[in-house]
Amino acid sequence: MKKIREVLKDNSGQGVPMILAVVLCCLILACVTFEYMRLMIVAQGVRDSVQSAIVDVATENWDEAYAGLREGYSGGYQLSGSSWSQNVTSGNVYARLQNVLGVEYEGGQYVKYSGEDLEYRLYDLHLEVENAPLAPSVPDGITQLNVTGTITVDVPLSFGFGHLPPMQITMKLNAKYVPRF
């Protein structure tokens, strides 16, 4: 500590390189922090948009599953002949994301550009709609309409001059209809 004070009090100019090193370290640390915040903001925005699209799918299927019937005794089924068939759909989540996020289909993936630079890439969307049973006989079984989905998001880093791999997240999302009593 005394040596640092002596170097800073010395008028010969030897403290300048240390001050430059400290400033450079602070700038690099600030760049890393801002890049982390950018990645989290992009990931949060994509997660919110995909969650909203999955909730829309659950809402569309809710209308089919619980149309005018008591909620505990119904599911998304339709009578065809003498048997019941499921009447639920997975919707078109990518079309909703194109409207909300402004992504474009390119090479089997949906991408978002910021000017000429790639902002993020969406792919590998899997949606599963779990239909409520027609007449639940098992009390611990599924009693409501569940929509679960996963999507993979790649966000290239602007820090590291292209030498670092992109941030890749597989997001798991869920929406369900919870009846009110």
Q: Is 174 helix (H, G, I), strand (E, B) or coil?
A: strand
Largest CA distance in the chain: 97
- pTM beyond 0.85: the answer is no
What percentage of the chain exceeds 90 in pLDDT? 28
Query: What pLDDT is recorded for position 2?
Result: 83
In this structure, which amino acid lies at residue 19? I
Query: What pLDDT is recorded for position 7?
Result: 65
User: What's the pLDDT tens digit per position in 19-42?
Assistant: 899 999 999 999 989 999 999 999
User: What's the pLDDT tens digit per position in 39-78?
Assistant: 999 999 999 998 888 888 777 776 665 555 554 455 666 6
How far CA 156 is from CA of 15, 94, 118, 145, 172, in Å, comes to: 38, 21, 7, 36, 20
Locate tokens 């090193």: which residue? 21
User: What's the pLDDT tens digit per position in 97-121?
Assistant: 888 888 999 988 999 998 888 899 9
User: What's the pLDDT tens digit per position in 113-156?
Assistant: 988 888 999 999 888 877 766 665 655 655 677 888 899 999 99
Domain ranges of the chain: 2-176
- Higher-confidence residue: 33 or 161? 33
Cβ–Cβ < 8 Å for 121, 51: no
Residues in the chain, overall count = 181
| Nearest residue to 50 via CA among 110, 108, 113, 107 | 110
CB within 8 A of 99, min separation 6: which ones? Answer: none
The pair of three-digit structure tokens given for residue 41, joined into one six-digit string: 């903001």
